[in-house]
Every structure is written in structure tokens, then in C-alpha cells.
Structure 1
Amino acid sequence: MATTVNGKPKNGQKIAVKRLSKNSGQKVAEFKNEVVLAAKLRHKNLVKLLGFCVAQKKRYLSVSQTKQASLNWQIRCNIIVGIARGLLYLHEDSPLKVIHRGLKSSNILLDEHMNPKISDFGLAKLFGVDQIQGDTKRIIGTYGYMAPEYVITGHYSVKSDIYSFGVLVLETVSGQRNRFCKQLQLEEAWRLWNDNKTLDFVDTTLQNDFPIDEVTKCIHIALLCIQDDAALRPRMSSIVAALNGQAICLPTPKPPNYFGANILEDNDSLGNKTITNLHPRD
């Protein structure tokens, strides 16, 4: 487990400090991985590493300051677009092809201008230029954000991050965190979209003060991102283009299926649990 608090060093700069508890599931190798990647990657929508400390089995990361505030639609839209641009950089534009694997709401920090910063690269994996997919027997992450192919078989790819991005978009639009172990939120979003009642999914605190076409498009993109078949999920470049207003024909999303009843029922995170008897696909 990690906590993030604001700090202010002697030079007066406002920072956020992430402190890992002694009971954290993050191993030393993962902490080092996070430090190395955060130091090498440079993008306005990725958190900037200012320093780190390892002392007496305590681990700290200092990054740019976070902020909490009531979010109107324009801010929410900017957050969605910023996260998409950050992922596009990781997947396609960075010198290092990176799969984040830990994308969730608590790993999106906001600076003083409400710009989103993707953080926590402890689970991130580097891919070769021509590498498409990786496999692992150690399934780690937060339930609800992990793609079905990762939970069930251990396969991960850029499409795994895109699934997590879709969940984040639905959370941002609805104002609700995805804590439904039976995917009720995802199923509700698709059902309302399919019944032409998409706006019933939108956060009521927005009081209908938003452009309908823009909100509908964000939900449509999110539903494409959370499709069970990874091959049907859009690329990050297509998502960014659509969010930026380019004329792109968005296909009809298929309904999300419940895939995890036999893996996790009441817990929010899989932690360090592993899945055996993997069945890799061709």
C-alpha cells in the first residue's frame, strides 16, 4: 500500500511524496523499475520524478504536487485527453515502448492546473520495437481495471492498458469509482448506451452542463476500450484522434461480459496471487 502526501522542501517547491508502507506488495525490483522508468520518460502527462529515497526499509518517491477539486466537464474532458496522450507516448512515441499495467484512478495525479499526470510505473514492462505481447504467471493489479486476457491467461499488451483507460473514462464521466466486482458499472454503461439513454450514466453533479455530443463520444470510446476481445479495442492513436475531433467512424461496441467470478468475489485487488493452468492463445 502507498500513500501520497504533499510536501515542501527547503527550496519552496511544492511536491507530492509517495510513501510505500512496510506492508506494501511492491518489491524492491518493482520500486527500482518505477524509479528508472519515471526518470527516463518525459511527457507533460507523465509524472515528473524529482527524487527518491530508500532508508531503513522505507521507500519514498517525490513527484510534482497533486490537487483535488470539484471537476466540471471541461476539466474532466481535459483529464481524459491528457491520459490518452500520455498513454500514446508510452505505447508509440516514447524511445521506450512501455506497457503501464497499473493504470487506475489513484495513479492519475493532477497538478495545480488540473493537468493529469500518469504515475506509478512499478508494474510497467518494456517492450521491444516489434514485440506485441508479453506473458506472466504473476498476476498483479487492481481488480476492475485489469483486462480479461490478463486476469485469465496472464497475457498483457498495449491493449491491456487501453482496457484500463476505458474504465477510467467511464469513472470520469460517471463520477463513480469502479468498485463493482461483477462489472455492474461497465454493464450499466453499455446497457444505457444501447438503449439510447447514455446521458443517464453521466455524473448528476454536472447538472447537464456539458456538450452532449462530446460526452456521448467519450462513453462510446470507453465502451470500445473495454471490449473483451483485445483485438477489437482501438489503438491509442485512433483514440487520441477521435478525442481531438477528427472524423473517425467508431464501430458499435459489443457488450462487456463478466469474466472473473471464479477469481475474485469480494476483494478489490489481486495483490500477489497467481493464476495457474494458463491456456495461452495462438
Structure 2
Amino acid sequence: MPNRSLDTILFDYDKHKHLDWERRFKIISGVARGLQYLHEDSQLKIVHQDLKASNILLDFDYNLKISDFGLAKIFGGYQSEDVTSRIAGTYGYMSPEYAMHGQYSTKSDAVSFGVLVLEIVTGRRNNGSYNSEQYVYLVNLVWEHWTRGSVIELIDPSLSDHPSPGDQVLKCIQIGLLCVEKRPEDRPTMSSVNVMLSSHNVRLPSVSMPAFCDGLGGHGDNSKVTSANGMTITKLEPR
């Protein structure tokens, strides 16, 4: 793909300036539509399980393709969730129930999508140190600013050089936070996300504290393996 991956542009000091809000919103909407197809519209229900910026490929016009289905799970019939003893994925994008207990569903991809949305809006990686020497996840930082009413401070500064509809940006942040809710049943489906993104009249649900903010998705005593460079990790452990 001419523009390689979203990861190589979004987090590059010079290249990320080419991602104006129109292109970023196009990418967010495109990923949401792609996930809706995998979860609801394809013949087989597919959970990607490793959605992240490096797996979003971009062509010359920034049209996207979701790539790398090596960890994907396929559900048959009316199945909607399952449990595995083989935990595989990228730390920081995994849902807490999957990282801790091996439970996965389409709502697992919702968490990865929510993290990705927050990265696209802020231009920051999910794992990093922001404004202090303490290691803080982006989701935690966004939640902290959301509760203080100062979340606009986290929007990628490069967007100030382009027209960026403020309400649309804030809506995307709220959708991102909804997708990383602690309980899977509280996260929206991707079809609901697409309705939220495309409609100007839909009232979004209120946001609760993300799972990552209460220790379920952070560094605890769960013997998780971290990946500082964003590479996929795999950990085997007995049930």
C-alpha cells in the first residue's frame, strides 16, 4: 500500500500533519464499517482480535484495508462468545476480559477500536508517558481530562492547522470511551457505532470509567506480557 500503515503516518512527527480531520474521520468510519461487516454482515462472524494502527493499511488516497487476520476467531451459528487458554494479541488493545480470562467476543474488537479512535484523535500512542515521569495509558489520560471537562486539550495540535469540526471530534472521543467500557454488554456494537458516527441526531449514552482505569487493563499481578514497540505478543497459560 502506497502509504503503508496508519501507524507509520499517525505517530510520525512530520507525516502525521498530512492527516487532517477529514482523513482521520474517514479512517475511523472506514474501520467501523469494516468491523460491522466482520461481526454482523459477513457469512461468518469474525472477531479480528488484533486491531491496531499498524494493521490499518492505507492506499494513495488514504482508503483503508484492515489487515493481519492471523489471530482472528470465527464463530459459527448463533455463537457470540467463547473462552480460550491461548491469550494472543497486542497489549494495550486487548479487552480486559480477554487479557485476564481468555473470554472473547465481538465486544473485544470494540475495545481495540475504541483505543484506536482515541489514538487517531490525539495523535498519541496508547502506551506512553504523558506530562509526567509516571507511565500512563492514553485511555486513562483521556478519561481524566474527560471528567475534568478539558479533553479538548488532548486533540492533536496539528489539527489546528486544518478545519476540524469540534462537535464531531468530541463525539469521536465519547464513542472511543464508550467502546472501552469495563463490561462487554455496556460497549456498543459496531452497527451502533456507525449510526453514532453518521447521524447528527443520535444522543450518545453517558460514559462510565473505562476498564483500564481500575487496574484490569494496567500493570497488575496478572503476569501479562507487555509489548513496548506495539508488536503482537502471544502468551500460553493453562486454564
Classify the TM-score, shorter chain: 0.7 to 0.9
User: Does 2:146 match 1:198?
Assistant: no
The answer to which of 173-182 and 249-258 deviates more is 173-182
Alpha-carbon shift at residue 249 of structure 1 (Å): 2.3
Taking the aligned partners of 1:112 and 1:89, their CA distance within structure 2 comes to 23
Q: 1:194-226, CA deviations, whole angstroms, 9 ceiling, x for partnerless residues?
A: 221121110011126311100000000000001
Identity %: 44
Kept in 1: contact 2:91–2:225 (CA 8 A):
no
d(CA) in 1 for partners of 2:187, 2:136:
18
CA offsets 1:146-190 (integer angstroms, 9 cap, x no match): 000000000010000000000000000000111249652101111
The answer to whether the Cα contact below 8 Å between 1:134 and 1:155 also exists between their aligned partners in 2 is: yes
Query: Unpaired segments of 5 or more residues in structure 2?
Result: 10-14, 130-134
Find the aligned partners of 1:226 and 1:183 in 2 and give their Cα distance: 16
Matched residue, 1:237: 191
Counterparts of residues 70-109 of structure 1 (less than 5 Å): 70-109=18-57
Match of 1:29 in 2: none
Cα distance in structure 1, aligned partners of 2:60 and 2:204: 34
Aligned residues: 215
The more displaced of 89-98 and 67-76 is: 67-76
Residue 252 of structure 1: how far off its partner (Å): 1.4
Which residue does the alignment assign to 1:66?
4
Unmatched tracts of structure 1, length 5 or more: 1-15, 17-63
Output the TM-score relative to the length of structure 2.
0.83
Residue in 1 that maps onto 2:58? 110
> With CA pairs under 8 Å and 6+ residues apart, which has the higher RCO, 1 or 2?
2
The aligned residue for residue 201 of structure 2 is 247
Is 1:226 the counterpart of 2:188? The answer is no
Paired amino acid for 1:229: R
Paired residues of 1:66 and 1:112 also in contact (CA < 8 A):
no
Give the C-alpha shift of residue 271 in structure 1.
2.2
> Per-residue CA shift, 1:220-242, capped at 9, x if unaligned?
00000011111110011110011
The answer on whether the counterparts of 1:144 and 1:183 sit within 8 Å (CA) in structure 2 is: no
Checking the alignment, whether the CA contact within 8 Å between 2:51 and 2:113 is kept in structure 1 is yes
Q: What CA distance in whole angstroms lies between the structure 2 residues aligned with 1:275 and 1:183? A: 27
Which residue of 200, 216, 226 corresponds with 2:170? 216
CA distance in 2, matches of 1:111, 1:205: 22
Structure 2 residue aligned with 1:178: 126
TM-score (norm 1): 0.71
